[in-house]
Amino acid sequence: MSMTHNVGDKDRMYRAIAGVIVLLWGVANANPVGLIGFVILATAYFRWCPVYIPMGIDSTKK
């Protein structure tokens, strides 16, 4: 399995913002669900989302 990029620029920006918000919400509320923010940030950083593969989504294509 190849980790070619499947997360485009806009998608990456939205994921980074959402990841930070979820992470900060988790810290503010002492809720471990906020750790999902790390996963969202990782998909933005690596520009690869494993959930997109079975759905055939590639947001890098214009």
* 47-57: pLDDT as tens digits: 999 999 999 99
Q: Are 54 and 19 in contact (CB under 8 A)?
A: no
- 41 in helix, strand or coil? helix
Look at residue 2 in the predicted model and tell me its pLDDT: 65
Residue with the bigger pLDDT between 2 and 9: it is 9
How crowded is residue 44: how many other Cβ atoms within 10 Å of its Cβ?
A: 21
What is the distance of C-alpha 41 from the center of its chain? 5
Residue 1: pLDDT over 90: no
Q: What kind and span of H or E run contains 14?
A: helix 9-28
Look at residue 55 in the predicted model and tell me its pLDDT: 96
User: Could you tell me the pTM of the whole model?
Assistant: 0.88
Residue 39: pLDDT over 80: yes
